[in-house]
Structure 1
Amino acid sequence: MSKPVVAIVGRPNVGKSTLFNALAGGMISIVKDTPGVTRDRIYADVSWLDREFTLVDTGGIEPESKDIILSQMREQAQIAIDTADVILFLTDVRQGLVDADSKVADMLRRSAKPVLLVVNKVDSFEKYMPDVYEFYNLGIGEPLPVSSASRLGLGDMLDEVIKYFPKGEESEEEDERPRVAIIGKPNVGKSSIINKLLGEQRVIVSDIAGTTRDAIDTDIVYNGKEYVFIDTAGLRRKSKIKEELERYSIIRAVSAVERADVVLMVIDAVEGVTEQDAKIAGIAHERGKGIIIVVNKWDAIEKNDKTMREYENEVRRVLSFMPYAEIMYVSAHTGQRLIKLYDMIDMVIANQTMRVATGVLNEIMTEAVAMQQPPSDKGKRLKLYYITQVSVKPPTFVIFVNDKELMHFSYTRYLENKIREAFGFCGTSLKFFIRERKEKGR
């Protein structure tokens, strides 16, 4: 079940980042276990009561003039409307209601998405409530007073947010169709791949500034089997600002990846693999999705007998945090190898949902331990008692040991490699949790 996406929209300096950090806690800038991925502070996982969601800060730059502020805000609002399940519209009680707020409120109101109007910097409810009521004039419902800095009112706000989430299992559970997200930098050919698979020019690829499209789900039937492709090609904006375009493509990717089983990470063969590709791929890796790296425009590359190996080495180097990902070389232009994508998607989904019997896992672990002694520290040696698989998508294992501190991540990696040697698990990450069991209780 995918997590809902909640986006924060608002003018510069109303406290978007402060709210984001207050809700996300200290989790954000540190990415555990993912060398090679720098996490921009754009999205974070938040849980409230028993609901989890992905929080996105539409952020943006601090432009000089009022006109630019408004156009920026409209773009941020559009992104939120396209990608979010719930929108937090942040305003500032000290600055009061301004013209830009009203204009953005009009857009949000027409979007038919749930919008919560949040009035920030209300450090004292007694003092500021009369000013809060002014925001009723926006006509998007009751203003919720909060102070991100003092963390006042955040609980009440979150209670409202989760009311809009789909109840439990109702939304996508019956839908057994494989869901495939196509992500990557702008202009790497994401829409072209879908068009070629569909056999028609469905996605209108135009270069008019400001044309946005929702991430459209496309159903494609191949060999009697239905697939849902989630496309993030939306933004074809002529943005002058590289950071801003990057931010938008990351926000788009987060919401698409959240809903997918398998992610096609599209790279432009001519341009080669870049740091921005690593950032976008890192989202799918962190979310434990099945991953296929699709090198598009392969027809445009001059080749000799070493080309593919050299190319693969470079892709593996830049995306070193996901050595398990499959790589395919295709051309949306000529259709080369595109049809093989379906077999690859089926295989990756099979691996994402594979369950391994506990007995077999423990045999592999016992053999691995015999071949390579577990680490020890100050005379105390790590003992591994037992391993079991607890869930799928991605396959997740729990290992019981005598002392968690001794379980170095390189030894976990060694066990992972042994399990992969036995079962493949191509295209999917594996997650491991280490639990302690005291010896005397055994």
Structure 2
Amino acid sequence: MVSSFSIKSNIFNIIILKFLMSIPVIAILGRPNVGKSTLFNRIAGSRFSIVSDIPGTTRDWISLNIESEDNKFILIDTGGIDENPQEELSNEVSEVTKQVLRESDGIILVVDSKEGLNVLDFYAAQLARTSNKPCVLAINKVDNPNRLLGISEFYQLGLKNVVTLSAYHGNGVSDVIDQISKQLPIFNEKTEKSDSINVAIVGKPNVGKSSLFNSIIGEDRSIVNPIAGTTRDSIDTEVIFKNKKINFIDTAGLRRRGSIEPGIEKYSVIRSVKAISRCDISLLVTDITEKISSQDSHIAGMIKDAGKGCIVIANKWDLNEKLSLIQGDVSNITMDKLKFLNGSPIIFTSNVTKIGINTIFDKILEVYEEYNRTIPDNKIWDNIIDTISKHPPPSKGRSKIIIKNAFQKSTKPPTFEIKFQNGKLLHFTYKRYLENGLRKKFGLNGVPIKLDIK
């Protein structure tokens, strides 16, 4: 069995590299000691492959990306229903668990056949029913045939899809996953509007994402129509600018001010993952009144590793009268903290004075052009040869590393295949050197460069 706590956070970006798509989120819900964590660990340790953990994991919730031949989803083990029944009766359920359910696409409600029904089971079932999400009632600890005789009482919870299992022994676990998977919505990133530039507005809470979105669509522009997003919690708005369709993916307005505890903000990462997966370009919104935080860096890393274009928005510039900041200094400090966004433009904006709002549209078109840019093979070859001649790769004993070919294999983002003799011996720092050479020559500002070294 694989402990969910053993998945280290230094695998953070693997979720983006392999699973940053619009994939469903399944939450495991239930009162304490019914076997939620055992079921979670059994799923993770059986026929499924643990890919990575979700950034922001705490003792309140554990989440993993799960993959099998038939299923791909994010699994969340919630811990939000309080063990104190009286406290739970007064609060019904913690905001943490409620937020997880809002972000989820399906629910597995776990109950204990050994102990029977509990008042908290009814509260959990009510949450599941009122969420209007697909739900499977997993009656756990059915370790012998005699336990089957008493499961009829659980039908009082009013849930139709019922599966019996023993998470400890592994019996019935596959049935639970199969049952919930059949009910999940179909997610397909290919359903995005191919004739539009898809732009996601992302960033940590309280940096002004929602106000920025309103400023963007509130200008005198041709708003085509609101579109129900591919993901459950986003609203898309298509804007025409210079005869180009720009589809803004807004998740910023989902947070209800005052209703969410500070600790709950870790769940905004799920929205960010979904939004980034759908976009061509991300607007990473930061607050000039605050230092660049680890959360800013995490989101920036998600954007880069997802292979998306990025424009950094230094927001709340209207507050600079009190701060007396210099734009050049802010730009240098920001990019020093977000080094992996090499070449990304920075726009200073204010949702109050509307400064910089128009600039965003022009910059989106510029970055998208780079994102979709094709460079002639002969120019790529010349650049790689020139870069290597200035600093040849070190040999490994008798094994010399010799360039054989170089060309661009795809766009969105620009991806280059470079073939070497003994290319596997190249150190990652030399790959970065080659990338910097391409960027210095061709610009490609605001977009990641991907190298496929053969």
TM-score normalised according to structure 1 size: 0.77
Q: In the alignment, residue 399 of structure 1 is paired with which amino acid?
A: I
Deviation at 1:191, TM superposition (A): 1.0
Question: Structure 1: which amino acid aligns with 2:122?
Answer: S
| Aligned match of 1:99 | 119
Deviations 1:383-441 (A, max 9, x none): 33333444443333443333354121111111111222233222222333333xxxxxx
CA contact (8 A) 2:95 2:261 kept: no
Map 1:26-425 to 2 at 5 A: 27-28=51-52, 44-49=64-69, 52-53=72-73, 55-57=74-76, 59=78, 63=82, 65-66=84-85, 69=88, 71=91, 73=93, 75-76=95-96, 78-93=98-113, 96-119=116-139, 124=143, 135-145=154-164, 153-164=172-183, 172-174=191-193, 176-199=195-218, 215-223=233-241, 224=243, 225-236=245-256, 238=258, 242=262, 244-302=263-321, 307-425=326-444
Q: Which amino acid aligns with 2:52?
A: I
Q: Distance in 2 between matches of 1:358 and 1:92?
A: 63
Letter in 2 for 1:113: K
The residue that corresponds to 1:205 in the other structure is none
What is the number of equivalent residue pairs in this alignment?
413
Task: Give me the whole-angstrom Cα distance separating, in 2, the residues matched to 1:396 and 1:298.
Answer: 35
- Post-superposition shift, 1:332? 0.9
Give the AA of the match of 1:329: F
For residues 203-224 of structure 1, give each alpha carbon's deviation from its aligned partner in whole angstroms, at most 9, with x where no partner exists.
xxxxxxxxxxx74414142435
Distance in 1 between residues matched to 2:443 and 2:265, nearest whole Å: 34
* Cα separation, 1, equivalents of 2:65 and 2:112: 25
- 1:73 is displaced (CA, Å) by 4.5
Structure-2 separation of matches of 1:292 and 1:282? 13
| Map of 2:15 onto structure 1 | none
Residue type at the aligned position of 1:194? F
For residues 313-367 of structure 1, give each alpha carbon's deviation from its aligned partner in whole angstroms, at most 9, with x where no partner exists: 2212322232243321100111101121112222233333334444443333233
Q: What SS class does the counterpart of residue 346 from structure 1 fall into?
A: helix
Instruction: State the 1:26 CA deviation.
Output: 5.1
Task: Give yes or no for the alignment of 1:431 onto 2:450.
Answer: yes
Distance 1:234 1:395 in 2: 33
Deviation string for 1:280-333 (max 9, x for gaps)? 333323322222211110111148997122212221232223224332110011
SS of residue paired to 1:266: strand
Q: 1:246–1:276: 8 Å Cα contact kept in structure 2? A: no
CA displacement 1:229-268 (0-9 Å, x = unmatched):
32233223547854x2331222232232233222221111
Q: State whether residues 9 and 80 of structure 1, in contact with CA within 8 Å, keep that contact through their aligned partners in structure 2.
A: no
Mapped contact 1:44–1:56 kept (Cα < 8 A): yes
| Mapped partners of 2:155, 2:102: distance in 1 | 25
Q: Structure 2 unaligned runs (5+)? A: 1-19, 220-231
Q: Are the aligned partners of 2:203 and 2:285 in contact in 1 as well (CA < 8 Å)?
A: yes
Structure-2 change in CA distance of 1:130 and 1:365 (3 Å): farther
Alpha-carbon distance in structure 2 between the residues aligned to 1:324 and 1:13: 50
Q: 1:363 to 1:227 in 2, by over 3 A?
A: same
Ranges in structure 1 where 5+ consecutive residues have no aligned partner: 32-36, 201-213, 436-442
Q: Distance in 2 between matches of 1:132 and 1:395?
A: 57
Give the TM-score, by structure 2 length: 0.76
Letter in 1 for 2:239: V
How far residue 381 of structure 1 moved from its aligned partner, in angstroms, is: 2.6
Alpha-carbon distance change, 349 to 272 in structure 1, aligned in 2, over 3 angstroms:
same
Contact between 2:80 and 2:93, CA under 8 Å: does it hold in 1?
no
State the secondary structure of the residue aligned to 2:255: coil
Counterpart code for 2:268: S
- Shift of the 72–280 alpha-carbon distance from structure 1 to 2, 3 Å rule, reads farther
Native 8 Å contact 1:230 1:260 kept in 2: no
Amino acid at match of 2:329: E
User: Secondary structure at the residue paired with 2:405?
Assistant: strand
* Match in the other structure for 2:16: none
Output the aligned Cα RMSD. 3.7
Q: Separation in 2 of the partners of 1:133 and 1:411?
A: 65
Aligned equivalents of 1:95 and 1:349: distance in 2? 58
In 2, the alpha carbon distance for the partners of 1:252 and 1:294 equals: 19
How many percent of aligned residue pairs carry the same amino acid?
A: 31
In structure 2, give the amino acid aligned to 1:292. Answer: I
Q: Is the 8 A contact 2:287 2:315 kept in 1?
A: yes
